[in-house]
Amino acid sequence: MKTDVAIVGVGQSPFYRKCGMAERELCFIAFQEAIKDINLRPEQIDASIVCSAPEYDKQRSPAAVIADYLGIIPAPSFNLETLCCSSSAGLRQAYSLIKSGLHQVVAVIGFQKMSELTSREAAERMVRGGDVQWESPFGLTMPAYFAMVASAHMAQYGTTPEQLAQVRVKSCIYGEINDKAVYRKRISVEDVLNSEMVTSPLKKFDCCANADGAAVIILASGEIARRVTDKPVWILGLGASTRSAALAGRLSFTNIPVAREASQAAYEMAGIGPEDIDVAEVHDCFTIAEIVAYEDCGFAKPGEGTRLIEEKQTYVGGRIPVNVDGGLLSKGHPIGATGASQIRTITRQLRGECGKTQVEGAKFGLIHNVGGPGLYCYVTILGRD
């Protein structure tokens, strides 16, 4: 295990609609949780990667500011950004730094404070993640991008608004239990269907919401991991893919090509297949995104993702539990923190620490994290001893 890489600590702040604190304070809350149960001091972390999308707050180049506040300087700190999957990209880079031998212990710190902007301003910043020359100037927003995916899926496979609504219903069942989620109230299919239209066919409750929050993942080489914790979670597979920012050349809108490519790469590296995954976190920025993720990750054939939600196969106790922490739809979506929050959930599942939402006997977990309208995707597969 000497050259293997493990996750030894995970932490997350509550996700808020409006936190009322500075970014560094958000990160400190998450960092405290990540380091509290491991035999490691902050000064023993020999590098940090700070992940967030720019233009949401006033602090430029936040890595040094946050590393200083957390007490992990003068170790080198880096900024990293790949839209909504920034901290999943951070995990991949931290893994590489450890495997190369340059560093032994690396903290990945994802955060976003989105409440300093109005909803209109935040929507405008988010759409800059698409092609700012050829698409976003014409009024495309993130809901509009995914409304095209929903419309295409409906046209080709007969997907219904009721099936989309069932994704949100599941999200709320588990979000109610998650004390770190923004939204902790159950809703019905009818509530979703009767909510305000955002971009047809997506309604208000088909969409996740902006949030403030932070999440931290601490990685270590295998040799150190065994010394600092008795519950290391091993990084088995890492897949990543990038596609054009412009959607005009996309051949199909019923799937997210980068997600299929990243999933295949992660499975190949881990030496397992989708049938081996016990629990998953997927990027449910919209209800349709979760259904498409079932298919892109190989949990269902194209067009059959709706069967998984209708049959409750993605609930705890089902064939492949997905987003049983409430997902983005209930937790909220603080862009830079989202991937690290997903990784935290799967790490805790593999440790057996999830209480009412625990998937019994979980050995392999998958994290699927998409950036923008499908520019990037990072898929991570974790396993326990």
Per residue in 237-259, pLDDT (tens digit) is: 999 999 988 888 788 899 999 99
Query: Which single residue is written with the structure tokens 């991937």?
Result: 339
Q: Is the pTM for the entire model greater than 0.85? A: yes
Annotated catalytic residues are 84, 333
pLDDT at residue 265 tops 50: yes
Instruction: Say if residue 227 is in the same domain as residue 326.
Output: no
Judge whether 125 lies within some domain.
Answer: no
Query: Average pLDDT of 354-381?
Result: 97
- Report the distance separating Cα 119 and Cα 137, nearest Å: 18
Instruction: Say if residue 157 is in the same domain as residue 77.
Output: no
Q: What is the pLDDT of residue 203?
A: 98
Confidence band of 52 (pLDDT split at 50, 70, 90): very high
Angle at 236 between CA 232 and CA 237, to 5 degrees: 140
Please state the domain count of the chain.
Answer: 2
Instruction: Say if residue 313 is in the same domain as residue 201.
Output: yes
Q: What is the pLDDT of residue 34?
A: 98
Instruction: Say if residue 74 is in the same domain as residue 191.
Output: no
pLDDT tens digit sequence for 295-330: 999 999 999 999 999 999 999 999 999 999 999 999
Instruction: Say if residue 185 is in the same domain as residue 223.
Output: no
Query: Average pLDDT of 70-94?
Result: 97
Query: Average pLDDT of 163-192?
Result: 98
Confidence band of 1 (pLDDT split at 50, 70, 90): very low
Instruction: Say if residue 177 is in the same domain as residue 256.
Output: yes
Give residue 288's domain range: 134-209+236-384
Instruction: Say if residue 195 is in the same domain as residue 337.
Output: yes
Q: What is the pLDDT of residue 2?
A: 44
Judge whether 140 lies within some domain.
Answer: yes
Query: Average pLDDT of 349-369?
Result: 98
Q: How many CA atoms lie within 13 A of 44 on its CB side?
A: 13
Query: Average pLDDT of 175-197?
Result: 98
pLDDT at residue 59 tops 90: no
Three-class SS state of 241? strand
- CATH number assigned to the domain comprising residue 27: 3.40.47.10
